[in-house]
């Protein structure tokens, strides 16, 4: 069995796509699925008026607004490998969801808009990858439109995030006049040479036509554009910007490709590169820092919880990253946090909102457990030798709002909906003695999380509600004694967080922290670090 587990794990490639909003993340997710022959045509379309066919954006609010609000999992086979692709929200307001997804992957694709280069949210997400030692492949998207100079983009990446781009392909033609790419380097380190010419497929929903040209053919057909591309490619070789697997795995370099996901230029090369160089699953460390070997008994952790994904599945799905061993549907597993035994009879694999029953899974795979009551985000499950993986972070909230329901006759449904969204991590739900149980306070990284909460309460639970924004901008953790002392303190509010029993103090600004510390000597006020536990 151990040799089978190792062989199956070696076939897995589990990665996430990260980017700033509007860089084309959901589009490239669709294009990768199309190249993997997992879908017949891409759902991404010109503009954002119609996203009903986009596999990874299944939520109605995502389709209406043209943005990714929640992460999605897609699994398909390509070549001799199993690809587990996780699409993530690009908007900063949903950073917590993206961070959780990055705990469940072995590699990441950093997507850049060719006209904008590095943007703030991309920088933040890359820092998460660096902290978690996740190797990153860069795809410079939208090269079929006006863009920055290619060499300038590489320089910006190296200067701003301290990682050296090593282009595997190089564009022939400036942004907006994209003919194709020079294949600079084969994965084995040999010079690839030649050019791949792209021709857009009618409608943009199917694979682009490609043609491989020799150097002489490319020079004859594309003249000055090809000559310039060759000169720049040779210059990159002189400055030691060629692909090196060791520096990539160490996180010092990022293999880089150029393309246009909307018209499927360069996406097939990206998928091939992921198969060739992205790491397969490895032994993950438990809370004590000891690795759980792949060949050990089954183990995994919950990195996401999602309910009501579509009208046909009004249930809750716990997304499990398989870390070791073989998962078999129906097996009895133990929840590390409560030592409770549970069955896995209802296990599914996901493709966006679509699901299929899964009989077995291996390290690197994502499994959905249906209605696994009692499982929370960050929980570990295992069979055999006990293990517990490190908890997932709760981000420091920066926005607070009191949630008001409109129809008190729906109070029971309201409480159920709030509990569900809290369990999923859509928002943090807090309660205070000042407002009572009927008026929970939502704490969020960004205000869009409030809009998602209101929309889902209405659509999924038929409970109209509104948010009254509160004047608090940050929070601190205190203890039970501190919570009691600060109950009547002016300008602050004390909350309890049911999910973990923590006491939080909400404050309007950092200066109020200093006055509280002065007025209440010995008071406990610990920070909630972004990306860290309370």
Q: Residue 202's pLDDT is what?
A: 67
Give the angle 265-267-268 at the CA atoms, nearest 5°.
110
The bridge status of strand 253-258 relative to strand 164-167 is parallel
Q: Residue 36's pLDDT is what?
A: 86
Mean pLDDT value of segment 261-275: 94
204-213 contact pairs (CB < 8 A, 24+)? 204/42, 204/45, 204/46, 204/262, 204/263, 204/264, 205/41, 205/42, 205/45, 206/34, 206/41, 206/42, 206/264, 207/34, 207/35, 207/264, 207/268, 208/263, 208/264, 208/265, 210/180, 210/268, 213/180
pLDDT band at 116 (very low <50, low <70, confident <90, very high): very high
Q: Residue 115's pLDDT is what?
A: 96
Q: Residue 69's pLDDT is what?
A: 38
Residues of the chain with CATH 3.40.50.300: 2-277, 284-382
The owner of tokens 């904008």 is 116
The bridge status of strand 299-307 relative to strand 380-382 is antiparallel
Yes or no: say if 260 and 142 are a contact pair by the CB < 8 Å rule: yes
Does 532 score more than 50 pLDDT? no
Report the binding-site residues for GTP: 87-91
Rounded to an integer, what distance in angstroms lies between the CA atom of residue 498 and that of residue 476?
16
* 431-443 pLDDT per residue, tens: 999 999 899 999 9
What is the 8-class DSSP label of residue 433? T
Report the binding-site residues: 87-91
Mean pLDDT value of segment 65-69: 44
Listed range (27-36, 87-96, 169-178) with the worst mean pLDDT = 87-96
Yes or no: say if 114 and 148 are a contact pair by the CB < 8 Å rule: yes
193: left (phi over 0), alpha (psi -120 to 50) or beta: left
Q: Measure CA 269 to chain center.
A: 22
* 292-346 pLDDT per residue, tens: 999 999 999 999 887 765 555 567 788 999 999 999 999 999 999 889 999 999 9
Give the CATH number of domain 399-527: 3.30.70.3280
Give the CATH number of domain 2-277: 3.40.50.300
Q: Residue 507's pLDDT is what?
A: 96
Q: Residue 375's pLDDT is what?
A: 86
212 three-state secondary structure: strand
Rounded to an integer, what distance in angstroms lies between the CA atom of residue 219 and that of residue 199?
17
Mean pLDDT value of segment 247-275: 95
pLDDT band at 41 (very low <50, low <70, confident <90, very high): low
Mean pLDDT value of segment 173-189: 83
pTM score, two decimals?
0.81
Residues of the chain with CATH 3.30.70.3280: 399-527
* 369-409 pLDDT per residue, tens: 987 767 888 999 999 999 999 988 667 788 999 999 989 89
Does 9 score more than 80 pLDDT? yes
Mean pLDDT value of segment 411-431: 88
* 192-237 pLDDT per residue, tens: 668 999 988 766 667 888 999 999 999 999 999 999 999 999 999 9
Give the angle 159-164-165 at the CA atoms, nearest 5°.
110
Q: Residue 392's pLDDT is what?
A: 80
Q: Residue 39's pLDDT is what?
A: 73
Kindly state which CATH superfamily the domain 284-382 is placed in.
P-loop containing nucleotide triphosphate hydrolases (3.40.50.300)
Q: Residue 20's pLDDT is what?
A: 81
Q: Residue 480's pLDDT is what?
A: 95
395 three-state secondary structure: coil
* 453-489 pLDDT per residue, tens: 898 899 888 999 999 999 999 999 999 999 999 999 9
Mean pLDDT in the chain? Answer: 86
């Amino acid at each position: 069995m151990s040799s089978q587990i190792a062989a199956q794990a070696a076939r897995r490639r589990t990665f996430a796509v990260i980017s700033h909003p509007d860089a084309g993340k959901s589009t490239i997710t669709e294009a990768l699925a199309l190249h993997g022959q997992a879908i017949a045509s891409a759902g991404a379309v010109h503009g954002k008026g119609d996203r009903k066919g986009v596999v990874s954006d299944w939520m109605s609010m995502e389709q209406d607004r043209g943005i990714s609000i929640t992460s999605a999992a897609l699994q398909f086979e390509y070549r001799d490998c199993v690809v587990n692709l996780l699409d993530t929200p690009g908007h900063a307001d949903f950073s917590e969801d993206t961070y959780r997804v990055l705990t469940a992957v072995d590699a990441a694709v950093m997507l850049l808009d060719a006209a904008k280069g590095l943007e703030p949210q991309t920088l933040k997400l890359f820092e998460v990858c660096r902290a978690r030692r996740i190797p990153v492949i860069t795809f410079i998207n939208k090269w079929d439109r006006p863009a920055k100079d290619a060499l300038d983009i590489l320089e910006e990446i190296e200067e701003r995030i301290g990682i050296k781009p090593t282009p595997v392909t190089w564009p022939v033609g400036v942004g907006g006049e994209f003919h194709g790419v020079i294949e600079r380097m084969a994965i084995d380190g040999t010079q690839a040479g030649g050019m791949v010419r792209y021709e857009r497929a009618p409608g943009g929903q199917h694979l682009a036509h490609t043609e491989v040209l020799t150097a002489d053919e490319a020079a004859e057909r594309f003249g000055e554009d090809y000559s310039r591309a060759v000169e720049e490619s040779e210059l990159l070789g002189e400055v030691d910007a060629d692909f090196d697997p060791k520096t990539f795995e160490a996180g010092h370099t990022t293999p880089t490709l150029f393309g246009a996901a909307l018209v499927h230029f360069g996406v097939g090369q990206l998928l091939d590169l992921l198969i060739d160089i992205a790491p397969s699953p490895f032994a993950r460390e438990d809370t004590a820092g000891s690795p759980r070997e792949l060949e050990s008994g089954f183990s995994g952790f919950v990195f996401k919880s999602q309910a009501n994904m579509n009208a046909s599945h009004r249930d809750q799905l716990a997304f499990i990253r398989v870390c070791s061993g073989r998962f078999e549907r129906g097996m009895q597993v133990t929840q590390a946090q409560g030592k409770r035994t549970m069955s896995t009879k209802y296990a599914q694999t996901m493709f966006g909102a679509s699901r299929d029953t899964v009989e077995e899974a291996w390290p690197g795979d994502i499994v959905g457990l249906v209605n696994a009551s009692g499982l929370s985000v960050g929980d570990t499950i295992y069979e055999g030798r006990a293990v517990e993986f490190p908890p997932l972070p709760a981000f420091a909230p920066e926005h607070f709002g009191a949630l008001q329901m409109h129809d008190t006759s729906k109070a029971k449904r309201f409480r159920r909906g709030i509990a569900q969204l809290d369990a999923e991590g859509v928002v943090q739900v807090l309660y205070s003695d000042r407002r009572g149980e009927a008026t929970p306070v939502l704490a969020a990284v960004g205000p869009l999380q409030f809009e998602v909460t209101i929309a889902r309460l209405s659509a999924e639970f038929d409970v109209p509600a509104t948010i009254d924004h509160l004047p608090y901008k940050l929070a601190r953790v205190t203890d039970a004694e501190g919570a009691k002392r600060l109950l009547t303190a002016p300008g602050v509010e004390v909350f309890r967080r049911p999910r973990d029993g923590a006491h939080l103090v909400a404050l309007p600004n950092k200066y109020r922290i200093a006055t509280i510390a002065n007025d209440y000597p010995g008071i406990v006020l610990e920070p909630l670090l972004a990306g860290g536990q309370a």
